[in-house]
Structure 1
Amino acid sequence: MRIAIIGAGCSGLTAIKNLAEAGLEEIVCYEKNDQIGGNWVYTAASGDSSVSETTYMISSKWMSQFSDFPMPDDYPDYPSHQQILAYFQAYARHFQLDKYIRLNIAVLHAEKIEKERWRLTLSDGTQSECDYLLIANGHHAVPRHPEWKRNFTGKYLHAHAFKTNQGLEYKRVLVVGVGNSGCDCAVEASRAAARVDMSLRTPQYIIPKFVMGKPTDTFAASLQWLPQKIQDWLQKISLRIQIGRYRDYQLPEPDFSPTQAHPTINSEIFDKIRHGKIHPRPGIQSISDQTVHFTDGSSSQYDVIIAATGYKISFPFFDPDFINWEDAEQVSLYLRIFHPGHSSLFFIGLLQPQGCIWTLAEAQSKLIGQLLTRKIQLPSNWRELAIAEGKHWASQFIARPRHSIEVHYYPYLKQLRRMIEGKKTR
């Protein structure tokens, strides 16, 4: 049984570790870069997929560490990208994962062949075949650009290319989007720019990193025994106590529950707004040259626009007509892993949790290890369940492209654990 994994970021690493731990030996992981770590390998080049120079985690170390490899005691509640990369490197050394990884090898093409097997064309000019293919290439590599991009004659860049605030000195900057990337870009830009505005089309929950002295995710974890409606109510009350009303920050009030959209975790944005360093603006109506017209009838001129408008799900190694979810609002996979049309193809980390992705990728990998060693089996109707699950998750969140792979962290983790234990899932 030969298994190939694409990508040696957080999801690929835990996949290797858990498959090997299950007793599977013929594992090879292809990583196109010269080291492990995926997006957590910082590079200054704007075209590379990496964190920015000042990135810190938005989930706490307590809720992000792998189950059998705790983060160092001296790590802060929210580690830096340098510390997270060092953690992944230590994880790989401790579990001796390097022997399974081929660095500087990209998978140029993956095609399905007879008997549900796969043929991979590699960047070193060779080909390889495998019985099972695990996709762990991440989903923050291909930026989603807005249609008005071509109308702006100033400097335009996507948040993907924003690595530092150098070059923004004395500039008028507009950040479009108030997700996690958007708020990070706005905060960093405000340290250098003459003025920073932040445009948002719809309301968004922006949540501080600490609630009642605890990291936000550990506080949320303490509420899991309560019914969802009560959890939502308590989260709203705690937010009201901590930050007041969003309109106090010139932000629109959300008219939905905190769990219906992917949250933004950021404490600094509130301080910057109240100190006049960042100015919220409504959505964009149109752009002419360097003038941006907003939906409230106002307009302003900008030197730079930073578009924090999300990413497309991309599998550059598949033919476009094979699997293409770039613009999908719903992705149908059983347990967010198993494709109903390809029983030997597994996706690791292809989800957007309201929590840390790595711990879910770890559980996904344990499940696959159990499955391939025949300790468990999928239900006979898993293909039908994949379609039903896609519809179920889509119904849980506001219909936006960013929510096509969204999951509720704890209910999803419970599903995985039940399956790992050999229990049926619904």
Structure 2
Amino acid sequence: MSAYKQVAIIGAGPAGLITGSILKKAGFSISLYEQRECLGGTWAIQPLSTLVDIRDGVSGIYSPIYSSLRCNVPKQIMELPDFPFPDDYPCYPRHNQVFSHLQRFAEHNDLLRHIRFNHRFLALEANSQPERWQVQTSQSLSEFDAVIFCNSRYHYPTYPDLEAFMPFTGRLEHSFSYREPEAYLNQRVALMGTGSSGEDLSREISHCASRVYLCAHSGSRELHKPVEGAYGAHNNLTRQSAIVACDGRTVILENGKKLRDIDVLILCTGYQPDPVFRQALPSIGLSGDKNNLAPLYLNLFHPRYPELAVTGMELASAPFILYHCQAKVIAGYLQGKILLPNAIQRQFAAEHLELQSSGRVSFSIRQRRSIAQLGHLAKLAGIKSPAKMVDSTLSINNKQRLRYPDDYRDLPWEGGEQSFQ
């Protein structure tokens, strides 16, 4: 019989709900701690009544979801493996559809009564009995046999060195607080970053703004084919080199060019885990910053205390499938059905992985090594591997996204209806 009976799950977003469902079905007593008043994590949109200049602070904002957001990968690799999206959902669901689906999933699996809302995680400590862990939140202090961290890495913005941007006298924003393109009506807008946020927001804002500039370092990751000249909704969007300085409302670029009379500068520079979570890591022998969390065995388990695990923080294009595989492995270990190497071997393997990936737990499912990792987790859990399906679906999706960056979500899907079931 397993020595682990009571399990704390930090976060009631997708990773927390999936982990909670699997552990509950496996017979564990679960408690989910959620810092907000609702489930869904990042997918629970948070309306903002005013525009936010980051120099005034962004405390109290927990979700980067904006009104028109849709998934940028098809639903086959966004849906919950044992709870598929309704048939009438589009190939690329809208954010509110994903959120509604998560609510139905929680109700279907009787998870709501296990969630403690408005409980922000503060600290974790081993008590006098090494096998038990004290979880401190903003409202409680409780003991558990195991603790699974499922808190998202998308709850706080990541900033570059802001010194270059402080002289800017227009409004300085982060994509974290973007909600509607109408807020930029007839304005001149510069965005920094060519990841998903920069690409999507620049195109959307171009419907309302007078001019839009998408700025990035040469050689930055670009999700679409480079575009020469003006493009966008009104032929008013251009790509520019990176921003290196600001002077009043003038933005100075890496190549020496100056963009004048800029009204709004939006930093599309990514997100990071909860700083409070990171501050708690040293007390349990882990370390982390805005990009890194290490060392972890299988990018999942604490090497010395495998009853502590971390999921939900990876940069993954098939996140729900990844969380499902991780939760299956966690449940198998806690049940005693999956045997892990001894502590010394786990530590060695975790440190080796850290050297390979610079300590990043946020491996990208787009990378070949990560597809193999997904298959390895499925094999360890004794379930059907989704690796081949995820790989082929992403390949088709990326081709459509490159060819039709403005409307790939509305075109017929060319990859069939395969899914991970």
Query: Which residue number in structure 2 is paired with residue 389 of structure 1?
Result: 353
Q: Distance in 2 between matches of 1:53 and 1:59?
A: 18
Residues 335 and 202 of structure 1: CA distance in aligned 2, closer, same or farther (over 3 Å):
farther
SS at match of 1:319: helix
Query: Which residue number in structure 2 is paired with residue 119 of structure 1?
Result: 134
Query: Which residue number in structure 2 is paired with residue 249 of structure 1?
Result: 228
Query: Which residue number in structure 1 is paired with residue 147 of structure 2?
Result: 133
Q: Distance in 1 between matches of 2:6 and 2:293?
A: 31
Asked whether 1:54 is paired with 2:54, we answer no
Query: Which residue number in structure 2 is paired with residue 146 of structure 1?
Result: 160
Asked whether 1:183 is paired with 2:143, we answer no
1:280-295 alignment runs, 5 A limit: 280-295=239-254
Asked whether 1:357 is paired with 2:315, we answer no
Residues 404 and 373 of structure 1: CA distance in aligned 2, closer, same or farther (over 3 Å):
closer
> Displacement, 1:315?
4.5
Query: Which residue number in structure 1 is paired with residue 32 of structure 2?
Result: 29
SS at match of 1:338: coil
**Range with bigger deviation, 70-79 or 196-205:** 196-205
Q: Distance in 2 between matches of 1:194 and 1:145?
A: 26
> Displacement, 1:320?
6.7
1:2-401 alignment runs, 5 A limit: 2-24=6-28, 26-45=29-48, 47=58, 48-50=61-63, 51-114=65-128, 115-124=130-139, 126-147=140-161, 148-204=164-220, 206-207=222-223, 246-249=225-228, 272=232, 276-301=235-260, 302-317=262-277, 318-319=279-280, 321-322=282-283, 323-328=286-291, 331-353=294-316, 355-380=317-342, 381-394=345-358
| AA in 2 matched with 1:348 | T
Q: Distance in 2 between matches of 1:315 and 1:170?
A: 37
Q: Is the 8 A contact 2:303 2:350 kept in 1?
A: yes
Query: Which residue number in structure 2 is paired with residue 214 of structure 1?
Result: none
| AA in 2 matched with 1:368 | I
Q: Cα deviations across residues 157-211 of structure 1 (Å, max 9, x unaligned)?
A: 1111111123311211001001111112212221211111010114355456xxx
**Range with bigger deviation, 159-168 or 1-10:** 159-168
**Range with bigger deviation, 372-381 or 317-326:** 317-326
> Displacement, 1:319?
3.4
Residues 277 and 324 of structure 1: CA distance in aligned 2, closer, same or farther (over 3 Å):
farther
Q: Is the 8 A contact 2:81 2:320 kept in 1?
A: no
SS at match of 1:415: helix
Residues 346 and 329 of structure 1: CA distance in aligned 2, closer, same or farther (over 3 Å):
closer
Residues 296 and 58 of structure 1: CA distance in aligned 2, closer, same or farther (over 3 Å):
same
Q: Is the 8 A contact 2:191 2:202 kept in 1?
A: yes
Q: How many pairs were matched up?
A: 356
Q: Cα deviations across residues 301-359 of structure 1 (Å, max 9, x unaligned)?
A: 21100001112333514437444422455743222111224433110122112x22111
Q: Distance in 2 between matches of 1:20 and 1:92?
A: 12
Q: TM-score, normalised by structure 2?
A: 0.79
Q: Is the 8 A contact 1:178 1:198 kept in 2?
A: yes
> Displacement, 1:127?
1.1
> Displacement, 1:368?
0.5
| AA in 2 matched with 1:310 | G
Q: Is the 8 A contact 1:313 1:325 kept in 2?
A: no
Q: TM-score, normalised by structure 1?
A: 0.78
Q: Which runs of no fewer than 5 residues in structure 2 stay unpaired?
A: 53-57, 384-421
Q: Which runs of no fewer than 5 residues in structure 1 stay unpaired?
A: 209-245, 251-269, 396-400
Q: Is the 8 A contact 2:231 2:238 kept in 1?
A: no
